[in-house]
Structure 1
Amino acid sequence: MVKAVVGEEIRLNSIEDRLSHSGLSSQVGLVIGKISTSLDRGFVFDLVPTPVNDAGEAASWITESKDDANKKRGGSKPKSQSDSSSVLSIDKDWVAEHARQVSRMLVGGMKVVGIYIWMNESLFKNSTLVLCQAVKGVAEAVPLVDFGWDERLLIHISLSPRRWACRNCSLSSNITSSSLRPCDFKMGRVLSTLQKFKCIHNFDIRFPIFRENISSSRKFAEILRDVISNHAEELKAAKALVDGEMVNVDELLAFDGVHEVEFLLPFMQHTSFQAYNQEEVVGILVFTGSICSFAYTNTKEPISQALADIKADIISSLHSRLDIICDEADGQLDSGPDVSGDLVDETSTQIPIPQLQLQSIRKQCSLTFPRRVFVPWLGDTYICDYIQPSETLEVLRDHCVELMSMEAPTDKTVILEPETESTSSVTFPTNSFWETAMSLSPELSQSSLNNKSSKRRSVAGTQILKSSNVSIITALLILILSVIIGILLFAFRA
């Protein structure tokens, strides 16, 4: 349970002013912040309103009972009596989908930690069940597995009387009035107390596709998701260099600026080191790329928390990219037979690569992941977005406005593009399995390898002949020298 929550004062005050002038009776949205288990405290960076759905309907609305509607025709009702009989409704699925998409744009140390609601105090007391269900839907859409935190925040901004309140919402299966427990909430400086960490993580993963699994063939995306999970286990055990030095991860950093992090992966710790032949393996999954990661921690948090946030961000970024291309592949399948993108062979001309059964194909195919770009957000912080190879930076504008309720920067020079393209490819060897496994140059064909082998044998034979001639001459010289020394010794004794 989080005992206290601190919100960014400047940002939250501006949100309150915006809501007070909006004329809205209710608004629901996401709470973007950070939960520090070491400090037992929560930090709120921003409140992001959930946009209208595809039909143009708001994510929350207030309805009156039929009795109230009939009585309004005969005269006015006291406001308190009207509030007590009104009902709050929330499109929980739409709020959860908004949370899922926003979480992709957040970097290390930033999470969707709950929801907020703007409404009257009296109506809030009668809406506990609806609000808890909405919180639970968001938690299921963006679980915080690494935190071990089974609660989320619910921030209530009361329009009458005007005040802020924060509650912990339990995620237990049975939602009751006791699921909400109050916690201390105050305004303060949050963004100015953050420290920034940056990491460029390079990876090169090779995963064999076994012939014995043909009967239980799985899709490209399913196997790749397992590969990412295995890499997450390796990354957990990795040691780190911070600003080029080994540091005590339990200490605090005493200076500001961007701290550079480099991970040292343990060699083959979670990999079975075995040799396979071509009868056992039908292909190799080669997964390579470079990931840029940012993480933000409070100055009172140890270095270990920043490293954990970066590791989680790297894996989360890989999963987010895979989800994006899978969503696009599903859209291609739903659109009908006219499918665009990289296709593999004649047997699967209508199937996008993420949907392919790996054991059933024999031709090399490759899949390019979206690259990550970073957009200035609040203060000195950044959020991210993903650009497909066929897209430009113009797509950032729509994502920033719709998902984060912010204007995209007009100056493209402030957008960071530190990544190279991360690629994933499946290779099925046709001539030599080991050429594929060892990534030999494609110019080294089998005939050229045979020619070079013949040349090596010819050179070796010449060297052996020369070596034999030298040995015979040496033996004769030693024999002559021995005879001369023997004659000289005999003459000397005589």
Structure 2
Amino acid sequence: MVRAVVGEEHQLQSAEDRLFKSNVSAQIGLVIGKISPALDRAFVFDLITAPPNDAAQPPCSLLETPAKDDKRRGSKPRSQSQIDSSSLDIDCDWVAEHARQVSRMLLGGMNVVGIFIWASESAFKNSSLKIWQTVNRVAEAAPVFDCDVKERLIIHISYSPRRWTCRNCLLGSSFNSTSLRPCDFKMGKVLASLQTFKCTYNFEMRLPIFCETASQGNTLKDVLHNGISQHAMELKGARAIIDGHLELEEQTYSPNGIHKVEMLLPFAKDLITEACGGKEIVGAVVFSGSICSFSYLSPKESVSQAIEDIKGDIIMSLRSRLDIICDEADADIGSTVEGETAASSEIFSDKSLPQAVLHLLRKPCGLVFPRRVLIPWLADSFICDYLQPSETFEVLKDHFRELLSIETLADTSKILEPEVESSIKITKSFWDATASSQPSSKPVDQSRPRSDYDSKQSAKPTTSYASTAIAVLLLALLVGLVIFILDKRSSVA
């Protein structure tokens, strides 16, 4: 249960000044920060105002209940009773969609932890149910990875009277008097005390394509979604090496500098090998690449939390990229000629490939995943975005303007592109599928971190397997010939 909230003083005061200068009577936005159940407190890094919706209307506005005698008296200044009866009209769906897209841009240890409301005291009190519903929608759209925390924050910035208050919102299916609880709120220097952890994580997933009767969810989207979920389970049991030393619970780290993290993966089952044993496989999806992950640890949190945040960041980053290519696929399929069916693999372009039914594809194909780029944000922290192979940094400027209300992007020379390109290869022949599942001639120790060398070794062509098969065949023929000659000589004798 969150009992105290500490906000970054500089960012929150800047947000307050910006809101007062806007001259709007109501505003809504997202709270970016971190909830720490172990400490019973939360940290707020920044407030991000929700942009206008598709109809160019503000997502939050003030509703006023007119007095009964307005028509007879004409327009007059609002009375105190009219002011007290005002409430908020909030576009919950739009705020939730904004939260979903912003959450993709946050690194480990940074999350959408609630909403802020800029409104009068009376309007806020008269809209408790609507605000609670909005927080629940935001929590659904931007969940915190593998976290059982059922609470979010509501920060109210009141201009009449002028003050800050914070409430802990309990998520659930019904609203009651205990759904919104006040908590202590203060400002301080939060960002300067954050500890930074960085991990370059190389991965390779080999996912089976089953025959039509074996699985109903056999699109590339389904296969990748299941594969990422399976990989999340494997990663959950991983240990970490920090700055060359095995992770220790009691170990402390300086907030200065970036601490290097390497993951030690446990032994895992090979899905393709298992599928081959059941003779249900008709192909394979080989998904490999590199992820640059960051996590930010708040003061007094244990180092194990930083490792959990990195694991969550890796999986959420993969899911975000899958969502991006699936969104493009939906748009591409929606633009096809009416009457065409997705059953025909010929209509799928590179963009719409995620919706393709894999066992209907007639030839091997591939797809490049969006790459993560890192942009300097608050203090020494980064925020991220994703670029398709054909996109440039100009796209980042549009994203930041629309989602974060940042008109000018930082110097593009400071934008980092640390990742190796992630790709998806779909094979259709049984030989390619089984060959990709065979262990290499030199066993790989999976108790150590996966390195770039391991990725290159796993990406070698399957020519060696073909050579081995041919050699075995020639040896069998030679042995048979020798046996035949010896048998013939014994019969003659």
One-letter amino acid of the structure 1 residue matched with residue 89 of structure 2: S
Q: Structure 1 residues 145, 240: closer, same or farther in 2, change over 3 A?
A: closer
Partner residue, 1:469: none
Aligned pairs (5 A) from 1:41-440 = 41-67=41-67, 70=70, 74=74, 76-77=76-77, 79-211=79-211, 213-214=213-214, 216-254=216-254, 256-268=256-268, 274=274, 276=276, 279-337=279-337, 347-350=345-348, 352-429=352-429, 433-438=433-438
One-letter amino acid of the structure 2 residue matched with residue 89 of structure 1: D
For 1:88 and 1:354, locate their aligned partners in 2 and report how far apart those are by CA, in whole Å: 40
For 1:356 and 1:105, locate their aligned partners in 2 and report how far apart those are by CA, in whole Å: 28
Q: Structure 1 residues 305, 278: closer, same or farther in 2, change over 3 A?
A: closer
One-letter amino acid of the structure 2 residue matched with residue 38 of structure 1: A
CA contact (8 A) 1:277 1:433 kept: no
- DSSP-derived class of the 2:288 partner: strand
CA contact (8 A) 1:252 1:300 kept: no
For 2:236 and 2:72, locate their aligned partners in 1 and report how far apart those are by CA, in whole Å: 62
For 1:243 and 1:442, locate their aligned partners in 2 and report how far apart those are by CA, in whole Å: 36
Task: Please state if 1:3 is matched with 2:3.
Answer: yes
TM-superposed deviation, 1:285 = 1.7
For 2:383 and 2:180, locate their aligned partners in 1 and report how far apart those are by CA, in whole Å: 30
**Runs of at least 5 residues in structure 1 that lack an aligned partner in the other structure:** 339-343, 462-494
- DSSP-derived class of the 1:181 partner: strand
CA contact (8 A) 2:170 2:179 kept: yes
Q: Alignment identity in percent?
A: 51
Q: Structure 1 residues 445, 191: closer, same or farther in 2, change over 3 A?
A: closer
- DSSP-derived class of the 2:402 partner: helix
- DSSP-derived class of the 1:216 partner: coil
TM-superposed deviation, 1:62 = 0.9
Q: Structure 1 residues 328, 457: closer, same or farther in 2, change over 3 A?
A: same
TM-superposed deviation, 1:349 = 2.1
For 1:174 and 1:445, locate their aligned partners in 2 and report how far apart those are by CA, in whole Å: 60
For 2:60 and 2:271, locate their aligned partners in 1 and report how far apart those are by CA, in whole Å: 49
Q: Deviations over 1:188-245 (max 9, x none)?
A: 1100010001000001111222337446352110121010000001001001100111
Q: Deviations over 1:130-182 (max 9, x none)?
A: 11111111111112352311111000000011100000111121113432110
For 1:74 and 1:275, locate their aligned partners in 2 and report how far apart those are by CA, in whole Å: 78
Partner residue, 1:477: none
CA contact (8 A) 2:193 2:298 kept: yes
TM-superposed deviation, 1:73 = 5.0
For 2:149 and 2:79, locate their aligned partners in 1 and report how far apart those are by CA, in whole Å: 39
Partner residue, 1:38: 38
CA contact (8 A) 2:104 2:317 kept: yes
Q: Structure 1 residues 31, 322: closer, same or farther in 2, change over 3 A?
A: same
For 1:86 and 1:255, locate their aligned partners in 2 and report how far apart those are by CA, in whole Å: 46
Q: Structure 1 residues 71, 399: closer, same or farther in 2, change over 3 A?
A: same
In our comparison, the structure showing a higher alpha carbon Rg is 1
For 1:261 and 1:309, locate their aligned partners in 2 and report how far apart those are by CA, in whole Å: 12
Q: Structure 1 residues 327, 73: closer, same or farther in 2, change over 3 A?
A: farther
For 1:18 and 1:399, locate their aligned partners in 2 and report how far apart those are by CA, in whole Å: 21
One-letter amino acid of the structure 1 residue matched with residue 365 of structure 2: C
CA contact (8 A) 1:427 1:436 kept: no
Q: Deviations over 1:382-425 (max 9, x none)?
A: 10000011111110001111111124435211001001111122
For 1:85 and 1:42, locate their aligned partners in 2 and report how far apart those are by CA, in whole Å: 33
CA contact (8 A) 2:87 2:122 kept: no
Q: Deviations over 1:346-388 (max 9, x none)?
A: 7432462111112223421212110000111111111000001
TM-score, normalised on structure 2? 0.85
**Runs of at least 5 residues in structure 2 that lack an aligned partner in the other structure:** 439-458, 481-493
Q: 1:441 aligns with which of 420, 442, 461?
A: 461
One-letter amino acid of the structure 2 residue matched with residue 238 of structure 1: A
For 1:391 and 1:63, locate their aligned partners in 2 and report how far apart those are by CA, in whole Å: 42
Q: Which moved more, 1:145-154 or 1:115-124?
A: 145-154
For 2:291 and 2:419, locate their aligned partners in 1 and report how far apart those are by CA, in whole Å: 6
- DSSP-derived class of the 1:15 partner: helix
Q: RMSD over aligned Cα, in angstroms? A: 3.0
Q: Deviations over 1:443-466 (max 9, x none)?
A: 6796x77876688789999xxxxx
CA contact (8 A) 2:193 2:255 kept: no
- DSSP-derived class of the 2:178 partner: helix
For 1:73 and 1:270, locate their aligned partners in 2 and report how far apart those are by CA, in whole Å: 79
TM-superposed deviation, 1:274 = 4.1
TM-score, normalised on structure 1? 0.85
Q: Which moved more, 1:74-83 or 1:237-246?
A: 74-83
CA contact (8 A) 2:158 2:164 kept: yes
CA contact (8 A) 2:272 2:434 kept: no
For 1:308 and 1:233, locate their aligned partners in 2 and report how far apart those are by CA, in whole Å: 13
For 2:473 and 2:60, locate their aligned partners in 1 and report how far apart those are by CA, in whole Å: 78
